[in-house]
Amino acid sequence: MVPIRELQKMITAEIRSQSEILTGREPKELYAPVEYSLGMGGKRLRPVLLLMAFNMFSDEIEKALPAAVAVEVFHNFTLLHDDIMDRAQMRRNKPTVHKQFNINNAILSGDAMAFLSYRYLMKCRSKQLSGIISLFTETALEVCEGQQYDMDFEKRQDVTEAEYLEMIRLKTAVLLGCSLKAGAMLANSTKQKARQLYEFGINLGLAFQLQDDLLDTFGNQETFGKKIGGDIVANKKTYLLIKALEKASPGQRKELTDWITQKEFKPAEKIIAVSDLYNELEIKKLTEQKIDSYFNVASQLLNLFPLEKAIKKPLKELSERMLKRNN
């Protein structure tokens, strides 16, 4: 089995070589933001998952590289457009694309990236290609639906836990599931195995997004790469906020609701006040328990997955690393 670090190297090299091809293309104003976005780095999680799933059934990893690039380019497209919609200023400790260039650039170069992801996908030689394109297209639509729910929820005060979990399933988890399933399909796995890996990806993705929510409030800005407290400022209906509203005493609920409905406020003050309430209500512990429960389902699914332990090891390691269970 090819180790994680090797897979990441292969992906980085492939993305760099694809970026260099784009450098030569005109108009530069369209392709420079694409390059900037792909050059921002990141964990390359989705392409790694795709290659790992592929590698469980085949050693010819280079055959899956175009699809790996496709899911990473698609993921970066969603970041470009989400950052415009969320007015985010920073991503991976760098200015977001619409800050570095402008909003029109971020819209149009984002569009180009959506189509570039299909171009990369089409480079795969596989009998399963049409099935993979359908999976990818349905996933892309689900990701759009998830982003819409996320925005809608900002204006609502009555979002339930179930609604929130469905939103993050769509916004985050399905692309992890899709990456794994596409990797398996490309390697001609059985349909059932591809489906099982998708399920594993969904649970991993739910745990991962819950952790992202947790880090947005309780993380370290440098390692997190975004401003801490952004979710609080934007009234994002995260698991943290939903649970806090649920557990709060009448007094605490009033304080929380006042902060959410306040039109004028100092961001730093709001972040401190809401974090304090989260601490009083032990929201961090509660969220960690929820993360654990999804992580445990994912681990269980992987344990039961009908392949040798050695073959499943990289995926096990990666999921532990993603959720910081490796120390």
Site for a second copy, residues 53 to 92, rule: CB under 8 A:
81, 84-85
* Under rule CB under 8 A, residue 137 binds a second copy: yes
Alpha helices in the chain (DSSP H): 4-23, 28-38, 45-55, 65-85, 97-100, 103-122, 129-154, 161-168, 174-186, 191-218, 221-224, 230-233, 239-247, 250-261, 267-280, 283-304, 309-322
> Cβ 139 to a second copy, closest distance in Å?
9
- Residue 317 Cα to chain centre, angstroms: 18
φ and ψ of 90, to 5 deg: -135, 145
Q: Are 113 and 140 in contact (CB under 8 A)?
A: no
> Cβ 298 to a second copy, closest distance in Å?
27
> Cβ 135 to a second copy, closest distance in Å?
10
Member of 9, 20, 141, 257 binding a second copy (CB under 8 A) = 141
| Shorter beta-carbon distance to a second copy: residue 162 or 310 | 162
Member of 29, 161, 276, 282 binding a second copy (CB under 8 A) = 29
| Binding segment (CB under 8 A) for a second copy, from list 138-146, 233-241, 247-255, 264-272 | 138-146
> Cβ 74 to a second copy, closest distance in Å?
10
| Shorter beta-carbon distance to a second copy: residue 59 or 152 | 152
CA distance 226 to 311: 35
| Binding segment (CB under 8 A) for a second copy, from list 127-135, 175-183, 205-213, 248-256 | 127-135
| Shorter beta-carbon distance to a second copy: residue 26 or 158 | 26
Site for a second copy, residues 245 to 304, rule: CB under 8 A:
none
Buried residues in 155-183 as b, exposed as e (16+ CB within 10 A)? eeeebeeeebbebbbbbbbbbbbbbbbbb
Place of tokens 């969320």: 86
| Shorter beta-carbon distance to a second copy: residue 33 or 229 | 33
| Nearest to 267, CA basis, from 234, 297, 238 | 234
3-class secondary-structure state, position 95: strand
| Shorter beta-carbon distance to a second copy: residue 29 or 161 | 29
> Cβ 27 to a second copy, closest distance in Å?
5
3-class secondary-structure state, position 15: helix
Binding site for a second copy (CB under 8 A): 26-27, 29-30, 81, 84-85, 104, 107-108, 110-112, 114-116, 118-119, 122, 129-130, 133-134, 137-138, 140-141, 144-145, 147-149, 151-152
